[in-house]
Structure 1
Amino acid sequence: MDVTAMTFLALVLPFAAALVAPALTRLFGRNAAWVLALAPAAIFLHFLRFLHDVASGEIVTGGYAWIPSFNVSFSWLIDGLSLTFVLLISGIGALIVLYSGGYLKGHPQQGRFFSFILMFMGSMQGLVVSDSFLMLFVFWELTSITSFLLIGFDHGREAARRAALQALVVTGGGGLLLLAGLLILWNVSGVTQLSLLLSFGSELKESPFYLAALLLVLGGAFTKSAQFPFHFWLPNAMEAPTPVSAYLHSATMVKAGVYLLMRLNPVLGGTPEWQLLLPLFGVATLVIGAALAVRETDLKLMLAYTTVASLGLLVMLIGLGSPHAVEAAALYLVAHALFKGALFMVAGILDHETGSRDVSKLGGLRSAMPLTFTIALAAALSMGGLPPFFGFLAKEELYAAFSASNLRSALFATLTVLGNALMFAVAFSVALKPFLGPRVSTPKHAHEAPLLLWIGPAVLALDGLCAALISGFAHRLISSPMASAIAGEARTVDISLVPHIGLPLVLSALTVVLGVVFYVHLARLRAAMTAILIDIGWGPDQGFDQFIRGLVRLAVAVTRRLQGGRFEVYMTATFALVAAILLVIPLQYGEFPRAPFFSADVPAHELAVIAIAVAGLFAVVAASDRLTAIVSLGIQGFAVAVIYLLYGAPDLSFTQFMIETLSVVVLALVMTRLRLSPADHRPLPEKLRDAAIALGCGLGFGLFLLRVTAVPFDRTLTDFFNLYSKSVAHGANVVNVIIVDFRATDTLGEIAVVMITGLAILALVRLRAGSLKRAAAGEDVADEGAMEERA
């Protein structure tokens, strides 16, 4: 099997595994996690084959034509950036599946959970390797939908439902902004693939639509990656089970916005707008997220807010755009995925084995859970930026980005040190406070976690250590190709564990000192932050609730205004709009037809048919009751059928005869079952208004047909149908072939409309029958005639 086919199978494998996950869970029971983890493991091994080629500077593309006429394809782009992401997604995904098997052991809906997590994995994997704009957007929205299912997995709790809806609204709205931005990029560049877009950087930046495209793309990225002021949905997503939190924060959805900014940096980055907006929102998110983290005592919420801060740090680095900033973004993204995934799984282990994840109610667990303590400490060392872990390399490279001696660099460096020091304190609070000190009684008897729970965080913590120890090898295969893809040019990352005397080391040491101080005084910081938030009294989370309530009120008001429940209002508005379109637009553009030529030599039988149609028109208008009007209306249809027959269209004429006959019969039968007022009680102004609208529609359609027939006849479709009706559709009757074969979908829609109409008529008849039964039983059926009239 060739590489293209294998890559395609790798992209669809998570969805195939999700399809059979419930059945496999029932079949294999407690061993289902090991079986299902084979799917992401196989994906990881497949993409691992590209490491050498990508490290050599090669970009792998492939795929299949989807809609060739619109240049839309199901295509992928594998370079240093997408390969790093897909390896993190599949590698951590395999560990998360195993972790879920232990965490949700015995859960009645474990199979459903496996299905959701695998769909989530497939969506994120498809997003980061997408080359096609459309493919990127489809997978972007799939991540929002699957995360909605995962966050609301415990749908019996109102908090879980609210968090899921909130995440869907925020990220789904951002997805619409991204779609608009992609459409602008398509119109400016004329390409629909990211690999081709990368060569249009100068054209996009010089385009008058650059700022609009940038703001729309940032809207999609900021909502997905929880940048201020859209950060509130991410901590609320902790209502999801811990395996979801660990996966969401380490390798998947929240990194999607960061991935998009990294991918588009070569074509949208480097401008004053880019270098203003990204660092500004990024550093604000960093400080706010870190400050909010110290307020929490729930382990998952503490880690969630530090994820918000880390995402802000990444966005800031992408916006700065200097060589050290780009390299630091690549290093920090990988380091964050490793240590944050491990710490979240540690939090889940503590919750699972002790019955609590409140850091203020945990302590002295080191002797009962020594392996978990070791894993937590290793991950915290990496998060704190201490050697010999990969987080140390990321932090040193990060501070090297602030080497410029100007006020802007000094300001960003100060805020970054503050944010990192707060995250340092939170990391060691998670890793030390539950394990050190006197033993605290817990709801469950604490003991070491089983294999399925600790294997995942142990592997991630060990990876963070090994990647730093063999940093030269890791940089050559991962860091340098990723930094090169972000920068759009070749970059070499060479930082190692050997300290380099200079500003980065000074800032790093300052971060550690401040972090230790914050850790010691964490209780005071928590109380201070709580007091500040109480004084503020409002935040984006409350604002979201107010926005939703306001939106619902607005929708109700608009619906009541526009959908009052009276059918005659709907029909009047519809036909008035039709008349306006048919008359106003031709008047505006001068497209009215010239006066038609009437021949004096008209056959008598044609004049007779026209006279019958006119007589039918007056019969409808002059009818004293609705039943007579319906029967008179059939005169019009029969006259049209005769015209079709006279002009050589017997099939169409026969169809018209059948339709008119059935319509009159069915409507007459229905009307006999409904009690309708025999006369028209509308006041004169309403009659004049309706008459004007009717005349406007008739005149508009007449003028439209005259204008159409004045255009020279185009035989393209005629020749096409005559040529292919017999050879392709195997039918000699061209009209039948058009309706049944060439217009099959249209015909199906017409049949559906007729069916729905029939059901509506049946409902009216049954309503009438039910009303009669209630009347016979003595129930109140007052104003029934008015009700039927509205229906």
Structure 2
Amino acid sequence: MAAIGPALTFCVLLLPFMGALMAPWLVSRIGGARAAWLLALFPALAFLHFCGFLPEIARGEVRTGGYAWVPSLNLSFSWFVDGLSLAFALLITGIGTLIVIYSGAYMKGHPHQGRFLSFILLFMGAMLGLVVSDSFLMLFVYWELTSIASFLLIGFDHEREAARRAALQALIVTGAGGLSLLAGLVFLWNITGVTQFSLLVHMADGLRESPFYLATLLLVLGGAFTKSAQFPFHFWLPNAMEAPTPVSAYLHSATMVKAGVYLLMRLQPVMGDTPAWEILLPFFGGITLLVGVLLGLRQTDMKLILAYSTVASLGLLVMLTGFGSSHALEAAVLYLLAHSFFKGALFMAAGAVDHEAGSRDITRLSGLRHTMPLTFAAALLAALSMGGLPLFFGFLAKEEIYAALAAGNPRAVFFTALAVIGNALMFALAFATGLKPFIGARNRTAAPVHEAPPALLLGPLLLAFLGLACALFPGLSHTYLSSPMASAVAGQAVTIDITAIPHFRTPLALSLLTIALGVLVYWQLDRVRDVTTRALDALGEGPDRGFDHFVSGLVRAAVLVTRVVQPGRLHIYVAVTFVMLALTLLVPLFAFGELPAMPVWPKDMLIEEAAFLVIALIGIFAVLRARNRLTAIVSLGIQGFAVAVIFLLFGAPDLSFTQFMVETLSVVILALVMTKLQLTLSDHRPMREALLDATIATACGLGFTLLLLKALQMPFDRVLTDFFNTYSKAIAHGANVVNVIIVDFRGTDTLGEIAVVMITGLAVLALIRVRAGRRAT
């Protein structure tokens, strides 16, 4: 029974991928809407499986498991489920179930709906694997898989240039961050000696005291900031709205954009509580919060407004994670959960409006409450939670935020003011999308609008009511979600007890101030939008256009470098290759004083050996003096045959035979190639090129000569000789040591050599046949 649990969890982690494989086939068989309900069973079963962990995780326990992959390197496929990873797993699978059902109705009739559902489930599986990963390598693999899956989803409508650009932008930004994260994980491995997050928590002191702590932190932040769209990498997230609405809803509520926040929360007990952590995270998080709400104010598209508010929310989460107090971590946990509920509901409501009314422009939409009452109810409830009004989970999060930030020191005052301004503007953005399109008089010139189908309403209604229920029943939500999650982030037991009943203290006063400012901005939304647009336009181009300039500059630089290093002349490529070879051989010998002693001419050399050395020298002279290339090729074979005879004289007939074959094939192939090429009969190189080539050739020859002489003058190591002499007969049952080495000990290498010879022979045969065919015609 002990093995059933890990095996079952392993299968559960594979469920979304199994659904992804089946999606195209199911859609083609029974249609997209029906297939979506069946495919939703995959994440639903995973959700139920993780729900079974709630009681033990609430008691402070953890669930681990996995399988060794490369034990010698401590690499494994392992998972670690605590309060943090369990909350994320439930959000990913629970909201993912609703998104799959939603996609079946939203994408109904699309010719590639099966492919879309497959991508969604692939994305879900990647994110689920990411949040439960215990192994560094496992986390990185899933981290990159989320980038690839998001690229496929954002660029799903690949016929539009904007979608292709957005997908490529997201892939480049998050992919570069992934490389930064990989380097950071390698640093963590080298500093601590562990490759699992469950063990890393015990290495906190050593990591913080390491001289490489700052470098590691910066590399990890590079991965987290790009994934969670922190300034100045925020621009890719709004552009990702080119994806269909189900992708936007899932991306912003429960998956990829929160991966960076998840990583920071996971590492907070290990890398937190340092000046660098408490300076960098609040600074960049605060800037992102302010940039997100300001850019959101200038938008009129519902999805873009929600996208920029997500950027702001992610900045708030990063700011709270790095603030350095237990209350701030509790606030981050509450706000993350509340954000998942209200943002998923608002995005799906916006998609329903677009699906039925044919527009997402809040300046053109009005009076939809009459024809879309259920969509209006879901959007309004979600907006109330996002605005931080009482009786909603968002109110609990805002109260905890102000309780964590409010203090008398200048740092606390600054970030409290920043949080009030950001939350007030997010209040206005919430009701701009959740209220404005539904109130007022119905536009009589617009096409008739009716309520969205049940599959489009299930998700937003359920998530909106969850935002209300979690606040009305805080005991359950804190016991099973908030407190275990905060305990995992803080690295110690934490109990959250905030309720929906307002308490007349500083946090409530700040909440009321936030609401008042938000109502004021919403009342003057058009005027504020105009002022914000003019102010932002005056600042000039932002990071989004800067990305385009960077990519175009990179392409121009690549073209320039290619023109220099790839001019299209084989002579230059060969020359550069041999120059590098000569430098590799000669520089170490001269730089480190490793030149060999000059060899002594042997006194007992046989006349046959001397004769063949002379023949080799004559062959070299013949090559240099040859009047055409064919003569040079034939003369070049003289050296090879002379060396083969020397091998024979020194008692190596098998090696001599191989050398004869190689030289014969080389001469034949080169001669055939020369007959196929349109070349001049003689060499017409200028003298300077000939001298340069001669210098390079001499340098290469000298390098090999000196290296071989140095190797021959080293003491002979008989380890391999004794090994082969001892074991050739015992292991390979062969008395000929050379044959045993070639056939058994180096069998794979010999097979490769045989394959090369075979391919060469086939090439020669093909050349002969081509030439014979031309002669026949």
2:16 alignment counterpart? 14
Deviation per CA, 1:669-728, whole angstroms, max 9, x where unpaired?
Answer: 221232322222222222222222111111111222233344455566667778888999
Residue 491 of structure 2 corresponds to residue 488 of structure 1:
yes
Q: Which amino acid counterpart does residue 575 of structure 2 have in structure 1?
A: T
2:136 alignment counterpart? 133
The answer (yes or no) to whether the contact 2:672–2:767 under 8 Å persists in 1 is: no
Cα distance change on mapping 1:727 and 1:260 into 2, 3 Å: farther
2:92 alignment counterpart? 89
Residue 81 of structure 1 and its aligned partner are, at CA, apart by: 1.2
In structure 1, how many angstroms separate the alpha carbons of the residues matched to 2:749 and 2:490? 50
**72-81 or 651-660: bigger deviation:** 651-660
In structure 1, how many angstroms separate the alpha carbons of the residues matched to 2:444 and 2:761? 69
Instruction: Give the one of 314, 319, 325 matched to 2:328.
Output: 325
Deviation per CA, 1:100-120, whole angstroms, max 9, x where unpaired?
Answer: 101001111011111111111
In structure 1, how many angstroms separate the alpha carbons of the residues matched to 2:92 and 2:745? 45
Deviation per CA, 1:564-600, whole angstroms, max 9, x where unpaired?
Answer: 1111111111111111111112222222334445532
Residue 560 of structure 2 corresponds to residue 557 of structure 1:
yes
Cα distance change on mapping 1:728 and 1:444 into 2, 3 Å: farther
Deviation per CA, 1:196-225, whole angstroms, max 9, x where unpaired?
Answer: 222222222222211111111111111111
Q: Helix, strand or coil: the match of 2:438?
A: coil
Residue 236 of structure 1 and its aligned partner are, at CA, apart by: 0.4
Deviation per CA, 1:341-391, whole angstroms, max 9, x where unpaired?
Answer: 111000000001111111111111112111111111111111111222211
In structure 1, how many angstroms separate the alpha carbons of the residues matched to 2:370 and 2:408? 49
Residue 228 of structure 2 corresponds to residue 225 of structure 1:
yes
Residue 656 of structure 2 corresponds to residue 664 of structure 1:
no
Q: Provide the aligned C-alpha RMSD in A.
A: 2.8
In structure 2, how many angstroms separate the alpha carbons of the residues matched to 1:755 and 1:398? 73
The answer (yes or no) to whether the contact 2:289–2:312 under 8 Å persists in 1 is: yes
Residue 632 of structure 1 and its aligned partner are, at CA, apart by: 1.5
Residue 48 of structure 2 corresponds to residue 45 of structure 1:
yes
Q: Helix, strand or coil: the match of 1:359?
A: coil
Residue 27 of structure 2 corresponds to residue 25 of structure 1:
yes
In structure 1, how many angstroms separate the alpha carbons of the residues matched to 2:431 and 2:46? 34
1:786 alignment counterpart? none
Unaligned runs of 5+ in 1: 773-791
Q: Helix, strand or coil: the match of 1:401?
A: helix
Residue 596 of structure 2 corresponds to residue 593 of structure 1:
yes
Deviation per CA, 1:130-178, whole angstroms, max 9, x where unpaired?
Answer: 2222222111111111111100000000000010111111111111111
Residue 372 of structure 2 corresponds to residue 369 of structure 1:
yes
Residue 582 of structure 2 corresponds to residue 579 of structure 1:
yes
Deviation per CA, 1:285-311, whole angstroms, max 9, x where unpaired?
Answer: 001101111211100000000000000
Q: Which amino acid counterpart does residue 294 of structure 1 have in structure 2?
A: L
**11-20 or 229-238: bigger deviation:** 11-20
Matches within 5 A, 1:170-209: 170-209=173-212
2:481 alignment counterpart? 478
The answer (yes or no) to whether the contact 1:353–1:444 under 8 Å persists in 2 is: no
Scaled by the length of structure 2, what TM-score is found? 0.94
Matches within 5 A, 1:509-520: 509-520=512-523
Q: Which amino acid counterpart does residue 699 of structure 2 have in structure 1?
A: G
Cα distance change on mapping 1:369 and 1:487 into 2, 3 Å: same
In structure 1, how many angstroms separate the alpha carbons of the residues matched to 2:428 and 2:126? 34
Cα distance change on mapping 1:595 and 1:488 into 2, 3 Å: farther
**469-478 or 428-437: bigger deviation:** 469-478
Unaligned runs of 5+ in 2: none
**324-333 or 586-595: bigger deviation:** 586-595
Q: Which amino acid counterpart does residue 10 of structure 2 have in structure 1?
A: F
Deviation per CA, 1:3-37, whole angstroms, max 9, x where unpaired?
Answer: 22222222222222212211111122131001111
Deviation per CA, 1:745-774, whole angstroms, max 9, x where unpaired?
Answer: 7678778988999999999999999999xx
Q: Which amino acid counterpart does residue 133 of structure 2 have in structure 1?
A: S
Residue 647 of structure 1 and its aligned partner are, at CA, apart by: 4.2
Give the fraction of aligned pairs with identical amino acids, expressed as a percent.
Answer: 67
Residue 685 of structure 2 corresponds to residue 691 of structure 1:
no
In structure 2, how many angstroms separate the alpha carbons of the residues matched to 1:759 and 1:167? 47
1:112 alignment counterpart? 115
Matches within 5 A, 1:379-458: 379-441=382-444, 444-458=447-461
Q: Which amino acid counterpart does residue 481 of structure 1 have in structure 2?
A: P
Deviation per CA, 1:329-349, whole angstroms, max 9, x where unpaired?
Answer: 111111111111111000000
In structure 2, how many angstroms separate the alpha carbons of the residues matched to 1:658 and 1:596? 31
Matches within 5 A, 1:712-751: 712-714=715-717
In structure 2, how many angstroms separate the alpha carbons of the residues matched to 1:294 and 1:770? 75
2:306 alignment counterpart? 303
In structure 2, how many angstroms separate the alpha carbons of the residues matched to 1:348 and 1:80? 32
**237-246 or 441-450: bigger deviation:** 441-450
The answer (yes or no) to whether the contact 1:356–1:443 under 8 Å persists in 2 is: no
Residue 20 of structure 2 corresponds to residue 2 of structure 1:
no
**465-474 or 512-521: bigger deviation:** 465-474
1:785 alignment counterpart? none
In structure 2, how many angstroms separate the alpha carbons of the residues matched to 1:253 and 1:734? 59
Matches within 5 A, 1:707-786: 707-714=710-717
Residue 605 of structure 1 and its aligned partner are, at CA, apart by: 3.1
In structure 1, how many angstroms separate the alpha carbons of the residues matched to 2:464 and 2:749? 59
Instruction: Give the one of 500, 505, 530 matched to 1:502.
Output: 505
Residue 532 of structure 1 and its aligned partner are, at CA, apart by: 1.3
Alignment size in residue pairs:
772
Residue 130 of structure 2 corresponds to residue 122 of structure 1:
no
Instruction: Give the one of 62, 65, 74 matched to 1:71.
Output: 74
Residue 743 of structure 1 and its aligned partner are, at CA, apart by: 6.2
Q: Helix, strand or coil: the match of 1:76?
A: strand
Matches within 5 A, 1:570-649: 570-596=573-599, 598-649=601-652
Q: Helix, strand or coil: the match of 2:368?
A: coil
Q: Which amino acid counterpart does residue 431 of structure 1 have in structure 2?
A: G
Cα distance change on mapping 1:303 and 1:770 into 2, 3 Å: farther
The answer (yes or no) to whether the contact 1:18–1:114 under 8 Å persists in 2 is: yes
In structure 2, how many angstroms separate the alpha carbons of the residues matched to 1:180 and 1:763? 49
In structure 1, how many angstroms separate the alpha carbons of the residues matched to 2:184 and 2:4? 35
Cα distance change on mapping 1:443 and 1:141 into 2, 3 Å: farther
Cα distance change on mapping 1:205 and 1:598 into 2, 3 Å: farther
In structure 2, how many angstroms separate the alpha carbons of the residues matched to 1:733 and 1:202? 60
Cα distance change on mapping 1:324 and 1:111 into 2, 3 Å: same
2:147 alignment counterpart? 144
The answer (yes or no) to whether the contact 1:356–1:442 under 8 Å persists in 2 is: no
The answer (yes or no) to whether the contact 2:335–2:398 under 8 Å persists in 1 is: yes
Q: Helix, strand or coil: the match of 1:191?
A: coil
Residue 342 of structure 2 corresponds to residue 339 of structure 1:
yes
In structure 2, how many angstroms separate the alpha carbons of the residues matched to 1:523 and 1:115? 41
The answer (yes or no) to whether the contact 2:383–2:435 under 8 Å persists in 1 is: no
Deviation per CA, 1:404-451, whole angstroms, max 9, x where unpaired?
Answer: 211110111011110101111111111111111101247653111112
In structure 2, how many angstroms separate the alpha carbons of the residues matched to 1:764 and 1:420? 76
Matches within 5 A, 1:150-165: 150-165=153-168
Cα distance change on mapping 1:540 and 1:732 into 2, 3 Å: farther
